[in-house]
């Protein structure tokens, strides 16, 4: 069985650079967002040259290139029906799904055809478009609790199809665009409010996003009571002071729940930054860091041994390819200088 302890462990962690540590390390990012290309993006639209269809394809190409560069072998991403379908087709490593409920006022939810989908509509959607996940949930942004009956079809389909479903479980952000989100209720992100949903759908493959801040105690309590509930550490570890999230992370491990922590970036542009945060946590050992980057999510998603082996082989072969290219360039340069 492949697990962190089987990997070629290089000399003690602190002797390794981040680059050395990441050699051959596949990454699973359980927290991406799939939406239309942003004209203001400096990543893929410097100087605002392109728009319309071209902007979307630029964003798609950049996202895929960014996943390659960061050794991401599987990424869970959510967006509107349109972009979930497009990204599911664009790259098989993207487990795409819908964020919900969407709002017609919110630019990032575009195009929001229906704010709430019926059970039949969801079944049809998931039966025909290779969608393999759900979330991030947006009910707190919309201003309703997770027990709102209009959300019941989503929980029902997610449990029936065993879709990983990411729930926004942090009281942040402090400020939202009030014109887009007039009814924003940060308190509806409290994991405690998910208990009636998990009572009704005990086999939900649910993970709490943004562990490490306001609702950490509630998240730990829920994970204690529901062994199938996992969490991700996205954004909090990058945007909140270490004094805020590190004690909560220590509590997670002290509660023997560290093996339920998964890697999430919340934005592909920060994948490397988020990976470095994990790498730099001095009190975690090498195996624990590799578990966060890959093995905990592999277990949560039920990946087979052969899938895990394939992921490691893919990353290693890409690494060898890169090395061969660099060597070729070096020789060319050397010959060029002769
Ligand atoms: Zn998010």
Integer Rg of the chain from CA = 20
What is the Å distance from ligand 1's center to 266 Cα? 5
* Claim to verify: residue 237 and residue 94 sit in the same structural domain: yes
Strand pairing report for 164-168 and 133-137? parallel
Q: Which residues of 23-39 are buried (b: 16+ CB within 10 A; e: fewer)?
A: ebbbbbbbbbbbbbbbe
Give the separation between CA 211 and CA 217, rounded to whole angstroms. 10
How much distance in Å is there from the Cα of 267 to the middle of ligand 1? 8
Separation between Cα atoms, residue 206 and residue 164, nearest integer Å: 6
The alpha carbon of 240 and the centre of ligand 1 are apart by a number of angstroms equal to 15
Query: Could you tell me if 212 and 325 lie in one domain?
Result: no
Task: Compute the Cα dihedral for 73, 78, 79, 84 and give only its sign.
Answer: positive
Say if residue 264 is in the same domain as residue 319. no
Q: Ligand 1 centroid to 92 CA: how many Å?
A: 21
Query: Do 188 and 145 have their domain in common?
Result: yes
Cα 234 to averaged position of ligand 1 atoms, centre (Å): 8
* Whether residue 222 sits in one domain with residue 180: yes
Dist. CA 150 → ligand 1 center (Å): 21
Distance 244 CA to ligand 1 centre (A): 19
b/e map 277-286, b = 16+ CB within 10 Å: bbbebeebeb
307 CA distance to ligand 1 middle (Å) = 26
Cα 265 to averaged position of ligand 1 atoms, centre (Å)? 8
Q: Provide the total of helices (H) and of strands (E) in the chain, helices listed first.
A: 14, 8
Task: Quote the ligand 1 centre to 1 CA distance (angstroms).
Answer: 32
DSSP 3-state of 255:
coil
72 in the same domain as 111: yes
Indicate whether 221 and 310 sit together in one domain: no
Do 289 and 312 belong together in one domain?
no
Report d(CA 191, CA 124) in Å as an integer. 29
Instruction: Give me the pLDDT at residue 330, please.
Output: 86
Residues 279 and 326 in one domain: no
- Say yes or no: 165 and 228 in one domain: yes
DSSP secondary structure letter of residue 10: P
- Asked, as a colleague might, if the bond just before 20 is cis with ω within 30 of 0, I would say no
> Are residues 138 and 48 part of one domain?
yes
Total structural domains within the chain? 2
From first to last of its 338 residues, what are the pLDDT tens digits of the chain?
555 544 444 445 567 899 999 999 999 999 999 999 988 888 888 876 555 568 899 999 999 999 999 999 999 999 999 999 999 999 999 999 999 999 999 999 999 999 999 999 999 999 999 999 999 999 999 999 999 999 999 999 999 999 999 999 999 888 889 999 999 999 999 999 999 999 999 999 999 999 999 999 999 999 999 999 999 999 889 999 999 999 999 999 999 999 999 999 999 999 999 999 999 999 999 999 999 999 999 999 999 999 999 999 999 998 888 878 888 888 888 888 76
| CA 331 / ligand 1 centre spacing (Å) | 44
Task: Check which CATH number belongs to the domain holding 236 and give it.
Answer: 3.20.20.140
Cα-to-centroid distance, 9 and ligand 1 (Å):
32
Q: How far is the CA of 321 from the centre of ligand 1 (A)?
A: 33
| Helical H segments across 216-304, by residue range | 216-225, 236-239, 242-254, 271-279, 286-290, 296-300
In a domain, 9, yes or no: no
- Cα torsion for 325, 72, 295, 193, to the nearest 10°? 170
CA of 212 to the centre of ligand 1 (A): 14
Domain enclosing residue 276, as ranges: 25-302
Q: Is residue 70 part of a domain?
A: yes
- Interval between CA 232 and ligand 1 midpoint (Å): 10
CA of 262 to the centre of ligand 1 (A): 14
CA angle 330, 332, 334 (to 5 degrees): 70
Centre of ligand 1 to C-alpha 166, Å, is: 9
Q: Which of these, 92, 209, 59, 198, lies nearest to 140 by C-alpha position?
A: 209
Q: 99 C-alpha vs ligand 1 centroid, how far in Å?
A: 10
Q: Please give the Cα distance from 319 to 47 (Å, whole number).
A: 32
Residues 187 and 78 in one domain: yes
pLDDT (0 to 100) of residue 7: 46
Single out the residue of 108, 191, 96, 95 nearest to residue 142, CA to CA: 108
**Ligand 1 centroid, distance to 290 Cα (angstroms):** 22
CA of 32 to the centre of ligand 1 (A): 7
Neighbours of 135 (CB within 10 A): 25
The answer to whether residues 162 and 133 touch, using CB atoms and an 8 Å cutoff, is no
- Asked whether residue 8 is domain-assigned, the answer is no
Q: Does residue 301 contact residue 164 with C-beta atoms inside 8 Å?
A: yes
> Largest alpha-carbon pair distance within the chain?
74
| pLDDT of the residue at 55 | 87
Report how far ligand 1's centroid is from the alpha carbon of 5 (Å). 31
CB atoms within 10 A of CB 127: 11
Predicted local confidence at residue 175, as pLDDT: 86
């Amino acid at each position: 069985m492949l697990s962190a302890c089987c990997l070629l462990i290089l000399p003690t962690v602190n002797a390794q650079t981040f680059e050395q540590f990441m050699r051959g390390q596949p990454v699973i990012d359980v927290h991406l967002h799939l939406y239309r290309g942003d004209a203001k993006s400096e990543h893929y639209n410097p100087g605002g040259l392109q728009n319309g269809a071209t902007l979307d394809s630029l964003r798609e190409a950049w996202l895929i290139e960014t996943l390659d560069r960061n050794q991401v072998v599987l990424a869970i991403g959510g967006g509107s029906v349109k972009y979930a379908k497009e990204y599911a087709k664009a790259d098989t490593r993207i487990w795409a799904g819908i964020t919900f409920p969407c709002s017609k006022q919110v630019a990032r939810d575009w195009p929001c055809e229906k704010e709430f989908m019926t059970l039949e509509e969801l079944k049809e959607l998931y039966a025909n478009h290779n969608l393999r996940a759900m979330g991030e949930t947006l009910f707190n942004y919309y201003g309703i609790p997770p027990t709102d009956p209009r959300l019941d079809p989503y929980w029902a389909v997610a449990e029936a199809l065993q879709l990983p479903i990411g729930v926004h479980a942090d009281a942040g952000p402090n400020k939202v665009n009030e014109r887009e989100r007039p009814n924003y209720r940060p308190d509806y992100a409290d994991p405690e409010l998910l208990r009636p949903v998990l009572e009704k759908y005990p086999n939900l493959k649910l993970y709490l996003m943004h562990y490490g801040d306001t609702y950490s105690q509630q998240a730990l309590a829920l994970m204690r009571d529901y062994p199938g509930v996992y969490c991700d550490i996205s954004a909090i570890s990058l945007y909140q002071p270490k004094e805020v999230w590190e004690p909560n992370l220590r509590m997670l491990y002290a509660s023997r729940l560290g093996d339920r922590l998964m890697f999430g970036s919340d934005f592909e542009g920060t994948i490397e930054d988020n990976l470095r945060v994990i790498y730099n946590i001095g009190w975690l050992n090498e195996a624990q860091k590799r578990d966060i980057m890959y093995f905990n999510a592999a277990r949560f998603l039920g990946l087979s041994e052969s899938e895990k082996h394939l992921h490691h082989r893919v990353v290693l072969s890409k690494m060898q390819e890169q090395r061969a290219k660099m060597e070729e360039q070096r020789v060319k340069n050397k010959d060029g200088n002769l």
